[in-house]
Structure 1
């Protein structure tokens, strides 16, 4: 379990989905607060590749309630939260990263977010 202020290494599954030029990765780590979540995302973005991503969308379920950040990918944070809720996974940040490939994906982008989260959850 994460310690307060802990920003240990995130587990990342890279290049897991590719569709019409867009590429996806998913990352996660134990996390106990919104501030810790923001620190973990900042740590992830220290990697140049992730800093250049179009979206780093994340969700986190805490006893105090859900926290999400769509990072411009409207609705994607809610998809992550729903999956964490279904899994009963609290105190664990999940970040879905997308590099936009030039073509709109429409509703498929939500399926890709779900698939990315599922792949991550399957590694826990």
Structure 2
């Protein structure tokens, strides 16, 4: 799969995460169509996980015009799929995000916990 660059500049982290949520939703719905074509029955709604409360708020609350005027198409697409029950957006607390090891400065204890969850080892430790 080829990496795609974002064609717009986001004004906030919530806006960037919201666009990522819309992109993830498109890809998951596309996979559901392929599975349907292959006659693999999937009745469950698509589950998307998000750790940004602002993004979740925008997704479920259509009356945030001042905060969403730059992402109107994505907002309508996400809201429509949520309302139809095709997709469920689930909040995941930041503490449970294993990917934080790659994106945030963490206290040593939390860092070590995530390292062990990823199965990483310190190759510089004496054996």
Same fold (TM over 0.5): no
Q: Which structure has more RCO (C-alpha within 8 Å, separation ≥ 6)? A: 1
Q: Which has the higher strand share?
A: 1
State the structure with more CA Rg.
Answer: 2
TM-score (norm 1): 0.26
TM-score (norm 2): 0.26
Q: Which has the higher helix share?
A: 2
